[in-house]
Structure 1
Amino acid sequence: MKTFTLTELNNKSGEVAEAAFRGPVDITSRGKRKFVLMTAEDFDRLRELGAQRAYRTDRLSGEERKLFLAGLDEVAARDGGDD
């Protein structure tokens, strides 16, 4: 998964958006992961799967985090993204 800082998001918005077309993008602030940017299509797909709530990844258990990342990898593989 690509990672950009909030400053890079402001200064390189086109590059960040292009990366988000290939798969979810981490946005960090002061070295900590704060946001995930993804296409509306990926977001809608997550909602269709029953993801009705947003969770902070730093509050997930190790097993939950592993399942979440595996799901993101599945979406990226299915859509041809490989970042």
Structure 2
Amino acid sequence: MRQFTTGDLNKLIGNVTDAASREPVVLTKHRKPRFVLMSYDHYERLRSGGDSRTVHRASEMPAKHLELLEAEVDRLARGEGYGDEP
């Protein structure tokens, strides 16, 4: 997620809004995150529950996801890079 300062928002409004049209951006003030700027479509998807992504702790992760995670960790431990075929 890209970050801009609140000062950037004043000076570079076109760049900030272009970035926010692609993905949410963080606006910082005094080096701390203060706001998130996103497209209206993205906001509506969040508001309506249309975003099907979920977050789990490893201890609460569904078994099929835990298996995928463990397989990926094992593959990386063998020294295979990201995206390499197993």
**Residue equivalent to 2:27:** 27
Q: CA deviation at 1:22?
A: 1.1
Question: What is the percent sequence identity of the aligned residues?
Answer: 42
2:4 corresponds in structure 1 to: 4
For normalisation by structure 2, the TM-score amounts to 0.57
Q: Which runs of 5 or more residues in structure 1 are unaligned? A: 51-65, 68-83
Quick check: which has more Rg, 1 or 2? 2
Greater relative contact order, per chain length (Cα 8 Å cut-off, separation 6+):
1
TM-superposition CA deviations, 1:10-48 (whole Å, max 9, x none): 000000000001100000000000000000000000010
What is the rounded CA distance, in whole Å, between the counterparts of 2:45 and 2:34 in structure 1?
22
Deviant stretches of 4+, over 3 Å: none
Q: Per the alignment, in what secondary structure is the counterpart of residue 8 of structure 2?
A: helix
Two-structure CA RMSD over aligned residues (Å): 1.7
Q: C-alpha distance in 1, partners of 2:36/2:11?
A: 17
The aligned counterpart of 2:40 is: 40
Inter-partner Cα distance in structure 1 for 2:45 and 2:21: 14
